[in-house]
Structure 1
Protein backbone atom coordinates (compact mmCIF):
# COMPACT_ATOMS: atom_id res chain seq x y z
CA UNK A 1 0.00 0.00 0.00
CA UNK A 2 1.42 3.38 -1.03
CA UNK A 3 1.09 6.13 1.53
CA UNK A 4 1.24 9.89 0.98
CA UNK A 5 4.70 11.17 2.05
CA UNK A 6 3.42 12.75 5.29
CA UNK A 7 1.56 9.56 6.19
CA UNK A 8 4.70 7.51 5.49
CA UNK A 9 6.65 9.66 7.98
CA UNK A 10 3.95 9.12 10.60
CA UNK A 11 3.71 5.37 9.96
CA UNK A 12 7.48 4.98 10.20
CA UNK A 13 7.54 6.58 13.66
CA UNK A 14 4.70 4.77 15.43
CA UNK A 15 5.69 1.81 17.59
CA UNK A 16 4.21 -1.62 16.90
CA UNK A 17 1.14 -2.40 19.00
CA UNK A 18 0.40 1.25 19.84
CA UNK A 19 -3.14 2.54 20.37
CA UNK A 20 -3.86 5.22 17.76
CA UNK A 21 -6.71 7.63 17.06
CA UNK A 22 -6.64 8.97 13.48
CA UNK A 23 -8.76 12.13 13.34
CA UNK A 24 -9.89 12.97 9.82
CA UNK A 25 -8.82 9.50 8.72
CA UNK A 26 -10.45 9.62 5.28
CA UNK A 27 -10.87 6.12 3.88
CA UNK A 28 -8.48 4.74 6.51
CA UNK A 29 -5.35 4.34 4.39
CA UNK A 30 -2.97 5.11 7.26
CA UNK A 31 -4.98 3.05 9.75
CA UNK A 32 -4.92 0.00 7.47
CA UNK A 33 -1.16 0.35 6.95
CA UNK A 34 -0.58 0.60 10.71
CA UNK A 35 -2.90 -2.33 11.48
CA UNK A 36 -1.42 -4.58 8.79
CA UNK A 37 2.22 -3.56 9.15
CA UNK A 38 2.62 -2.92 12.87
CA UNK A 39 -0.31 -4.56 14.65
CA UNK A 40 -1.54 -1.16 15.81
CA UNK A 41 -4.94 -0.84 17.49
CA UNK A 42 -6.21 1.98 15.25
CA UNK A 43 -9.47 3.88 15.62
CA UNK A 44 -10.71 6.66 13.37
CA UNK A 45 -12.95 9.70 13.36
CA UNK A 46 -14.09 11.01 9.96
CA UNK A 47 -16.65 13.65 8.98
CA UNK A 48 -17.45 12.35 5.46
CA UNK A 49 -19.97 9.46 5.56
CA UNK A 50 -18.69 8.00 2.27
CA UNK A 51 -15.16 7.84 3.67
CA UNK A 52 -16.49 6.25 6.88
CA UNK A 53 -18.26 3.57 4.83
CA UNK A 54 -15.11 2.88 2.80
CA UNK A 55 -13.00 2.57 5.97
CA UNK A 56 -15.50 0.27 7.67
CA UNK A 57 -15.61 -1.86 4.52
CA UNK A 58 -11.84 -2.35 5.01
CA UNK A 59 -12.55 -3.75 8.45
CA UNK A 60 -11.48 -0.58 10.29
CA UNK A 61 -13.04 0.88 13.42
CA UNK A 62 -14.15 4.31 12.21
CA UNK A 63 -17.01 6.50 13.41
CA UNK A 64 -18.52 9.53 11.76
CA UNK A 65 -17.83 12.71 13.65
CA UNK A 66 -16.53 16.24 13.58
CA UNK A 67 -13.15 17.02 15.15
CA UNK A 68 -14.39 20.44 16.22
CA UNK A 69 -17.03 18.97 18.54
CA UNK A 70 -16.63 15.21 18.97
CA UNK A 71 -13.09 14.97 20.36
CA UNK A 72 -14.45 16.11 23.72
CA UNK A 73 -16.07 12.67 24.06
CA UNK A 74 -12.72 10.82 24.13
CA UNK A 75 -11.01 10.08 27.47
CA UNK A 76 -7.83 11.77 28.66
CA UNK A 77 -4.75 9.79 27.62
CA UNK A 78 -6.86 7.14 25.92
CA UNK A 79 -4.36 6.68 23.08
CA UNK A 80 -0.61 6.49 22.65
CA UNK A 81 -0.92 8.71 19.56
CA UNK A 82 -3.57 11.04 18.22
CA UNK A 83 -3.07 11.85 14.54
CA UNK A 84 -4.35 14.81 12.55
CA UNK A 85 -3.00 14.62 8.99
CA UNK A 86 -3.83 17.37 6.52
CA UNK A 87 -6.90 18.28 8.59
CA UNK A 88 -5.88 21.04 11.04
CA UNK A 89 -6.36 23.78 8.44
CA UNK A 90 -9.91 22.56 7.71
CA UNK A 91 -11.21 22.77 11.29
CA UNK A 92 -13.17 25.73 12.61
CA UNK A 93 -11.15 25.99 15.84
CA UNK A 94 -7.69 24.51 15.16
CA UNK A 95 -6.27 25.71 18.48
CA UNK A 96 -8.95 23.82 20.43
CA UNK A 97 -8.64 20.74 18.20
CA UNK A 98 -4.89 20.71 18.90
CA UNK A 99 -5.56 20.98 22.65
CA UNK A 100 -7.96 18.02 22.41
CA UNK A 101 -5.41 15.93 20.49
CA UNK A 102 -2.82 16.51 23.19
CA UNK A 103 -5.35 15.64 25.89
CA UNK A 104 -6.45 12.42 24.18
CA UNK A 105 -3.04 11.15 23.07
CA UNK A 106 0.17 10.93 25.05
CA UNK A 107 1.72 12.26 21.84
CA UNK A 108 0.23 13.75 18.70
CA UNK A 109 1.23 13.80 15.05
CA UNK A 110 0.05 16.84 13.09
CA UNK A 111 0.72 17.39 9.39
CA UNK A 112 -0.41 20.32 7.27
CA UNK A 113 0.30 22.15 4.01
CA UNK A 114 2.67 25.09 4.37
CA UNK A 115 1.02 28.15 2.86
CA UNK A 116 4.34 30.04 2.96
CA UNK A 117 6.02 27.72 0.44
CA UNK A 118 7.85 29.71 -2.22
CA UNK A 119 5.52 28.55 -5.01
CA UNK A 120 2.49 29.80 -3.09
CA UNK A 121 4.24 33.11 -2.45
CA UNK A 122 5.24 33.46 -6.10
CA UNK A 123 1.72 32.69 -7.29
CA UNK A 124 0.30 35.42 -5.10
CA UNK A 125 3.06 37.88 -5.97
CA UNK A 126 3.12 37.41 -9.74
CA UNK A 127 -0.37 36.18 -10.47
CA UNK A 128 -2.23 38.09 -7.78
CA UNK A 129 -4.57 35.16 -7.17
CA UNK A 130 -4.84 32.37 -4.64
CA UNK A 131 -2.70 29.54 -5.98
CA UNK A 132 -4.00 26.30 -7.44
CA UNK A 133 -1.19 23.76 -7.33
CA UNK A 134 -0.65 20.03 -7.44
CA UNK A 135 -0.84 19.91 -3.64
CA UNK A 136 -3.50 22.63 -3.23
CA UNK A 137 -5.77 21.79 -6.18
CA UNK A 138 -8.93 23.59 -5.09
CA UNK A 139 -9.84 27.17 -5.95
CA UNK A 140 -10.34 29.74 -3.20
CA UNK A 141 -14.12 29.24 -3.17
CA UNK A 142 -14.21 25.43 -3.05
CA UNK A 143 -11.22 24.67 -0.84
CA UNK A 144 -11.75 22.89 2.49
CA UNK A 145 -8.76 24.89 3.83
CA UNK A 146 -10.26 27.64 5.95
CA UNK A 147 -7.12 28.47 7.97
CA UNK A 148 -3.95 29.15 6.02
CA UNK A 149 -1.02 28.45 8.29
CA UNK A 150 2.71 28.35 7.78
CA UNK A 151 5.50 26.40 9.43
CA UNK A 152 6.50 29.52 11.37
CA UNK A 153 2.88 30.16 12.45
CA UNK A 154 2.67 26.63 13.81
CA UNK A 155 6.03 26.85 15.62
CA UNK A 156 4.95 30.15 17.24
CA UNK A 157 1.62 28.62 18.29
CA UNK A 158 3.42 25.70 19.93
CA UNK A 159 5.70 28.11 21.82
CA UNK A 160 2.73 30.21 22.96
CA UNK A 161 0.92 27.11 24.26
CA UNK A 162 3.96 25.46 25.88
CA UNK A 163 3.74 22.44 23.57
CA UNK A 164 6.94 20.50 22.85
CA UNK A 165 7.76 19.47 19.31
CA UNK A 166 9.73 16.25 19.81
CA UNK A 167 10.47 15.98 16.10
CA UNK A 168 9.56 17.69 12.87
CA UNK A 169 9.85 16.66 9.25
CA UNK A 170 9.54 19.00 6.29
CA UNK A 171 8.64 17.73 2.83
CA UNK A 172 8.97 19.15 -0.67
CA UNK A 173 7.95 17.03 -3.66
CA UNK A 174 7.60 14.08 -1.27
CA UNK A 175 11.17 14.31 0.02
CA UNK A 176 12.60 15.74 3.20
CA UNK A 177 13.96 19.26 3.08
CA UNK A 178 16.09 21.29 5.49
CA UNK A 179 14.47 22.45 8.73
CA UNK A 180 16.32 25.80 8.68
CA UNK A 181 14.50 26.98 5.55
CA UNK A 182 11.30 25.00 6.06
CA UNK A 183 8.98 28.01 6.05
CA UNK A 184 10.14 28.84 2.51
CA UNK A 185 11.00 25.42 1.05
CA UNK A 186 8.61 22.90 2.62
CA UNK A 187 5.31 22.11 0.93
CA UNK A 188 4.16 20.07 3.94
CA UNK A 189 5.18 19.79 7.57
CA UNK A 190 4.82 16.90 10.04
CA UNK A 191 5.24 17.48 13.77
CA UNK A 192 5.36 14.99 16.63
CA UNK A 193 4.07 16.80 19.72
CA UNK A 194 3.68 16.31 23.46
CA UNK A 195 2.77 18.50 26.41
Structure 2
Protein backbone atom coordinates (compact mmCIF):
# COMPACT_ATOMS: atom_id res chain seq x y z
CA UNK A 1 0.00 0.00 0.00
CA UNK A 2 1.43 3.37 -1.04
CA UNK A 3 1.91 5.99 1.63
CA UNK A 4 0.13 9.33 1.52
CA UNK A 5 2.47 11.82 -0.25
CA UNK A 6 3.53 13.71 2.90
CA UNK A 7 4.18 10.44 4.72
CA UNK A 8 6.27 9.19 1.77
CA UNK A 9 8.47 12.31 2.05
CA UNK A 10 8.94 11.69 5.77
CA UNK A 11 9.62 7.96 5.31
CA UNK A 12 12.29 8.72 2.67
CA UNK A 13 13.99 11.24 4.95
CA UNK A 14 14.12 9.36 8.27
CA UNK A 15 17.52 7.75 8.82
CA UNK A 16 17.42 3.95 9.13
CA UNK A 17 17.52 2.62 12.68
CA UNK A 18 16.23 5.86 14.22
CA UNK A 19 13.99 6.17 17.25
CA UNK A 20 10.71 7.74 16.13
CA UNK A 21 7.55 9.00 17.81
CA UNK A 22 4.62 9.59 15.44
CA UNK A 23 2.09 11.83 17.20
CA UNK A 24 -1.35 11.51 15.65
CA UNK A 25 -0.25 8.35 13.85
CA UNK A 26 -3.72 7.48 12.53
CA UNK A 27 -3.84 3.94 11.16
CA UNK A 28 -0.08 3.47 11.63
CA UNK A 29 0.87 3.39 7.94
CA UNK A 30 4.00 5.50 8.48
CA UNK A 31 4.98 3.59 11.63
CA UNK A 32 4.76 0.28 9.78
CA UNK A 33 6.80 1.63 6.86
CA UNK A 34 9.52 2.93 9.19
CA UNK A 35 9.59 -0.24 11.30
CA UNK A 36 9.54 -2.68 8.38
CA UNK A 37 11.43 -0.70 5.74
CA UNK A 38 14.01 1.19 7.79
CA UNK A 39 14.40 -0.85 10.97
CA UNK A 40 13.29 2.06 13.12
CA UNK A 41 12.16 1.83 16.73
CA UNK A 42 8.82 3.37 15.73
CA UNK A 43 6.21 4.26 18.33
CA UNK A 44 3.00 6.21 18.08
CA UNK A 45 0.40 8.23 19.92
CA UNK A 46 -3.15 8.50 18.60
CA UNK A 47 -6.29 10.08 20.04
CA UNK A 48 -8.82 7.88 18.20
CA UNK A 49 -9.33 4.56 20.05
CA UNK A 50 -10.36 2.74 16.86
CA UNK A 51 -7.08 3.73 15.19
CA UNK A 52 -5.12 2.71 18.29
CA UNK A 53 -6.80 -0.72 18.21
CA UNK A 54 -6.03 -1.08 14.49
CA UNK A 55 -2.36 -0.19 15.08
CA UNK A 56 -2.00 -2.60 18.00
CA UNK A 57 -3.65 -5.35 15.94
CA UNK A 58 -0.92 -4.74 13.31
CA UNK A 59 1.76 -5.22 15.97
CA UNK A 60 2.61 -1.53 16.26
CA UNK A 61 3.58 0.12 19.54
CA UNK A 62 0.88 2.79 19.86
CA UNK A 63 -0.77 4.36 22.89
CA UNK A 64 -3.90 6.44 23.11
CA UNK A 65 -3.10 10.05 23.89
CA UNK A 66 -3.82 13.69 23.14
CA UNK A 67 -1.03 15.81 21.64
CA UNK A 68 -2.26 18.87 23.52
CA UNK A 69 -2.00 17.18 26.93
CA UNK A 70 0.09 14.02 26.90
CA UNK A 71 3.38 14.99 25.25
CA UNK A 72 4.53 16.44 28.58
CA UNK A 73 4.98 12.88 29.86
CA UNK A 74 7.76 12.09 27.35
CA UNK A 75 11.37 12.72 28.46
CA UNK A 76 13.62 15.28 26.77
CA UNK A 77 15.49 14.12 23.65
CA UNK A 78 13.99 10.64 23.93
CA UNK A 79 13.68 10.12 20.15
CA UNK A 80 15.60 11.11 17.06
CA UNK A 81 12.46 12.27 15.24
CA UNK A 82 9.09 13.42 16.55
CA UNK A 83 6.53 13.42 13.74
CA UNK A 84 3.27 15.33 13.49
CA UNK A 85 1.64 14.66 10.12
CA UNK A 86 -1.64 16.38 9.24
CA UNK A 87 -2.32 16.93 12.94
CA UNK A 88 -0.93 20.39 13.80
CA UNK A 89 -4.07 22.15 12.57
CA UNK A 90 -6.26 19.98 14.81
CA UNK A 91 -4.48 20.82 18.06
CA UNK A 92 -5.67 23.47 20.50
CA UNK A 93 -2.25 25.13 20.78
CA UNK A 94 -0.08 24.31 17.77
CA UNK A 95 2.73 26.51 19.11
CA UNK A 96 2.97 24.55 22.36
CA UNK A 97 2.71 21.19 20.59
CA UNK A 98 5.56 22.23 18.29
CA UNK A 99 7.71 23.17 21.32
CA UNK A 100 6.98 19.76 22.88
CA UNK A 101 7.94 17.95 19.67
CA UNK A 102 11.31 19.68 19.64
CA UNK A 103 11.84 18.95 23.33
CA UNK A 104 11.12 15.24 22.83
CA UNK A 105 12.84 14.80 19.48
CA UNK A 106 16.21 15.97 18.24
CA UNK A 107 14.34 16.87 15.06
CA UNK A 108 10.67 17.15 14.17
CA UNK A 109 8.77 16.54 10.97
CA UNK A 110 5.57 18.57 10.66
CA UNK A 111 3.15 18.33 7.74
CA UNK A 112 -0.08 20.25 7.34
CA UNK A 113 -2.62 21.37 4.74
CA UNK A 114 -1.89 24.81 3.32
CA UNK A 115 -5.03 26.89 3.70
CA UNK A 116 -3.45 29.54 1.45
CA UNK A 117 -3.56 27.21 -1.59
CA UNK A 118 -5.13 28.80 -4.64
CA UNK A 119 -8.14 26.42 -4.59
CA UNK A 120 -8.95 27.46 -1.02
CA UNK A 121 -8.57 31.14 -1.93
CA UNK A 122 -10.71 30.72 -5.04
CA UNK A 123 -13.47 28.91 -3.17
CA UNK A 124 -13.62 31.69 -0.61
CA UNK A 125 -13.44 34.45 -3.24
CA UNK A 126 -15.96 33.10 -5.77
CA UNK A 127 -18.27 30.95 -3.65
CA UNK A 128 -17.91 32.62 -0.28
CA UNK A 129 -17.54 29.16 1.26
CA UNK A 130 -14.88 27.05 2.90
CA UNK A 131 -13.71 24.51 0.34
CA UNK A 132 -14.34 20.80 0.23
CA UNK A 133 -11.66 19.16 -1.89
CA UNK A 134 -10.03 15.76 -2.32
CA UNK A 135 -7.41 16.70 0.28
CA UNK A 136 -9.81 18.65 2.55
CA UNK A 137 -12.86 16.38 2.16
CA UNK A 138 -14.87 17.38 5.25
CA UNK A 139 -17.33 20.28 5.49
CA UNK A 140 -16.32 23.16 7.74
CA UNK A 141 -18.77 22.23 10.49
CA UNK A 142 -17.49 18.65 10.82
CA UNK A 143 -13.76 19.12 10.21
CA UNK A 144 -11.23 18.46 12.95
CA UNK A 145 -9.19 21.40 11.56
CA UNK A 146 -9.45 24.26 14.04
CA UNK A 147 -6.38 26.31 13.05
CA UNK A 148 -6.19 27.18 9.37
CA UNK A 149 -2.55 28.02 8.68
CA UNK A 150 -0.76 28.88 5.48
CA UNK A 151 2.83 28.04 4.58
CA UNK A 152 3.76 31.65 5.34
CA UNK A 153 2.00 31.53 8.73
CA UNK A 154 3.98 28.44 9.67
CA UNK A 155 7.29 29.92 8.48
CA UNK A 156 6.61 33.04 10.60
CA UNK A 157 5.76 30.97 13.69
CA UNK A 158 8.96 28.91 13.56
CA UNK A 159 11.11 31.97 12.83
CA UNK A 160 9.60 33.85 15.81
CA UNK A 161 10.51 30.91 18.07
CA UNK A 162 14.06 30.55 16.79
CA UNK A 163 13.35 27.14 15.27
CA UNK A 164 15.56 26.11 12.37
CA UNK A 165 14.00 24.80 9.15
CA UNK A 166 16.43 22.14 7.95
CA UNK A 167 14.37 21.18 4.94
CA UNK A 168 10.94 21.83 3.43
CA UNK A 169 8.90 20.00 0.80
CA UNK A 170 5.78 21.27 -0.91
CA UNK A 171 3.12 19.04 -2.41
CA UNK A 172 0.48 19.76 -5.01
CA UNK A 173 -1.83 16.78 -5.19
CA UNK A 174 0.44 13.75 -5.11
CA UNK A 175 3.47 15.53 -6.60
CA UNK A 176 6.21 17.71 -5.19
CA UNK A 177 6.27 21.30 -6.36
CA UNK A 178 8.93 24.00 -6.16
CA UNK A 179 9.20 26.36 -3.20
CA UNK A 180 8.50 29.31 -5.52
CA UNK A 181 5.12 30.72 -4.46
CA UNK A 182 4.56 27.65 -2.26
CA UNK A 183 2.04 29.51 -0.11
CA UNK A 184 -0.13 29.84 -3.22
CA UNK A 185 0.72 26.62 -5.11
CA UNK A 186 1.21 23.91 -2.46
CA UNK A 187 -1.76 22.00 -1.07
CA UNK A 188 0.39 20.50 1.69
CA UNK A 189 3.76 21.27 3.22
CA UNK A 190 6.28 19.14 5.09
CA UNK A 191 8.96 20.72 7.27
CA UNK A 192 11.95 19.17 9.01
CA UNK A 193 12.72 21.29 12.07
CA UNK A 194 15.46 21.47 14.68
CA UNK A 195 16.67 23.73 17.49
Aligned counterparts of 2:140 and 2:64: Cα–Cα separation in 1: 26
- Cα deviation digits, residues 143-181 of structure 1 (max 9, x gap): 000000000000000110000000000000111111021
- Cα deviation digits, residues 21-73 of structure 1 (max 9, x gap): 00000110000001010000001000000000000000000000000000000
Q: Shift of residue 121 of structure 1?
A: 0.2
Residue 176 of structure 2 aligns with which residue?
176
Correspondence 1:106 to 2:119: no
Aligned counterparts of 2:115 and 2:150: Cα–Cα separation in 1: 5
Residue 8 of structure 1 aligns with which residue?
8
Correspondence 1:59 to 2:59: yes
SS across alignment from 2:108: strand
Residue 48 of structure 1 aligns with which residue?
48
SS across alignment from 1:148: coil
Could you list the structure 1 runs, at least 4 aligned residues long, displaced by more than 3 angstroms after superposition: none
SS across alignment from 1:35: helix
Q: Give RMSD over aligned pairs.
A: 0.5
Aligned counterparts of 1:56 and 1:27: Cα–Cα separation in 2: 10
Residue 193 of structure 2 aligns with which residue?
193
- Cα deviation digits, residues 72-100 of structure 1 (max 9, x gap): 00000000000000000000011000000
1:20-169 to 2 correspondences below 5 Å: 20-169=20-169
Question: So what's the TM-score if we normalise by structure 2?
Answer: 0.99
Unaligned runs of 5+ in 1: none
Aligned counterparts of 2:79 and 2:113: Cα–Cα separation in 1: 25
Question: So what's the TM-score if we normalise by structure 1?
Answer: 0.99
Aligned counterparts of 1:58 and 1:76: Cα–Cα separation in 2: 28
Aligned counterparts of 2:27 and 2:186: Cα–Cα separation in 1: 26
